[in-house]
Amino acid sequence: MPTMDLNIQCEQLSDSRWAELLPRIQQCQWVRLDDCGLSEVRCKDLSSALQANPALTELNLRNNELGNAGVQLVLQGLQSPTCRIQKLSLQNCGLTAAGCAVLPGVLCALSTLRELCLSDNPFGDTGLQLLCEGLLDARCHLERLQCGQRSSVGDTGSDHSECHDLVLTSVPPPSRLGDCDVTNNGCSSLASALLANHSLRVLELSNNCMGDPGVQRLVDSLRQPGCALALEKLVLYDIYWTQAMEDQLQALEEARPSLRVIS
């Protein structure tokens, strides 16, 4: 049976159009509703449609003002026993720190989820700390977590791929985990998560205000034996550190030949 995709961008969906799409959402393997004016109200319908779709592997809802309640409804819909979601983008959906409270449980429950994009959501250090709680759990198998605005790693183009590493960045669209208001304090939780997590392949923290102290926390963790062995790329655009920190990053690359620092 051929796979079905639904790709709709920049269309403000009328009630009749939405009613027409819901049965298709229940059948498609890949669903993209980018900048479609979705809100919390329509997330109730969407949640039910997702629960009825065992074929779904990729869902992209970026640039919709879902808010914390809407995001929670979407995540509830994905926690059906038959769900096989692999890639989920909730970029610029109005998720705050309060909404991140459900994420640790979700990351553990969605065992097939490999790529999660939360870029351009202002959840800050508190939200990142909650995310890291999920990363610390052995049941979490994320390979890519994006929390920045513009990722230079990967592409949001025709291959449908939105996420595939840990990204926390910011620049004009297409975007990822930057612009998430992450500071030095948030890096403390992230550094601890790196020590325990062995599935992340790319960590992107571009355009977050962590400076030398935050980057230092990450470097210190990555120097530890056995830390984040799967990590291949550390992307740090627009962080603005000193020459001393630049020297430390170069030394880190020399000590870990499999790791590439991109800045």
Per-residue pLDDT tens digits for 70-105: 999 999 999 999 999 999 999 999 999 999 999 999
What are the structure tokens assigned to 6, written together? Answer: 């639904």
Domain 1-85 has CATH 3.40.50.720: no
Per-residue pLDDT tens digits for 35-53: 999 999 999 999 999 999 9
Domains 1-85 and 121-263 are alike in CATH topology: yes
Per-residue pLDDT tens digits for 114-138: 999 998 898 989 999 999 999 988 8
What's the first-to-final CA gap in the chain, in angstroms? 44
Assigned superfamily of 121-263: Ribonuclease Inhibitor (3.80.10.10)
Domain ranges, ordered by start, for the chain: 1-85, 121-263
Number of Cβ within a 10 Å radius of residue 12: 9
